[in-house]
Amino acid sequence: MTPNPLLTPQEAQRLGAARVGIAGAGGLGSNIAMHLTRAGVGHLTVVDFDVVSESNLNRQFYFRDQLGLPKVAALCTNLLRIAPALDLRTHAQRLTEANFRPTFADCEVVVEAFDNPESKSAFLRALLPTGKPLVCASGMAGWGHSGAIALRRLGPTLYLAGDAATAASATCPPASPRVGIVAALQANTVIALLLGVQP
Amino acid sequence: MPHFTFQGTPAETKAERLADFLRERGLDPARTLCELNGQALAPGADAPLAEGDTLNAFSIVAGG
């Protein structure tokens, strides 16, 4: 069953059968999961150790009555409201270089959706050698400069979304529009990879 | 001194290895994602630089 009636039967079958991994369920990951669920992806594996906090509500797919809940639990509730048949596997744990591979072993595509550069780099060190398609992000803080955000393909299996420059900081915080653009770009890339069209 | 293409433009360096070249350009190798001759290299990876190489480098920055 898909929440997306605009798909052809073949597209619905393809997306419905796919499992996509999402590392992180913050500004990027929660919105990527929402996009993929609305698009009709049938199986998601989402990993995040954090809980929903007040500072998340400006850009993440959570609500005020979910403050304090584990992000993966709140996300599960929200995604199942969109697609009750979604097969959502969640892990409330911290990902390390030692557990990236087993956690996402059965995922066709894995999305990097962390906010700190150390975790982003660890993700790449652990999963790039597997040859699995990866969709990562770097550079999305602040406002404006939408045209600087791009999708780049690096080698045969790696995609990088963002401007690769604008770091989040106290004076340049991550905000919903730019983070949302990158999250949508990552989700769009995943769908393209699954459907075999040009990302 | 290798002559190669960096970010789409001709470049040259005294560095013989990728990590040294990135530092020369003010980039932290541990936070830089590179594509060397069509192959992606994870942050922290090192490789020799050779005449005619094509290199692209992208910073991994905070935010998400």
Q: What ipTM goes with this model? A: 0.94
The 8-class DSSP code of residue A74 comes to H
Quote the distance between the C-alpha of residue A13 and its chain's center. Answer: 21
Residue A112 φ/ψ, nearest 5 degrees: -90, 120
Residue B34 φ/ψ, nearest 5 degrees: -120, 155
Report CB contact under 8 Å: A125, B42. Answer: yes
pLDDT tens digits for range A1-14: 566 889 999 999 99
A150 inside 8 A of chain B by CB:
no
- State residue A1's pLDDT score: 54
Report CB contact under 8 Å: B63, A115. Answer: yes
Check pLDDT > 70 for residue A94: yes
- Residue B2: pLDDT band by 50, 70, 90 thresholds? confident
Q: What percent of chain B clears pLDDT 70, i.e. is strictly above it?
A: 98
A166 inside 8 A of chain B by CB:
yes
Q: CA–CA separation, A12 vs A30, rounded Å?
A: 22
Contact list in B for residue A129 (CB cut-off 8 A) is 42
Mutate to test the interface with B, among A154, A158, A159, A169 (most CBs of B within 10 A): A154
Contact list in A for residue B41 (CB cut-off 8 A) is 128
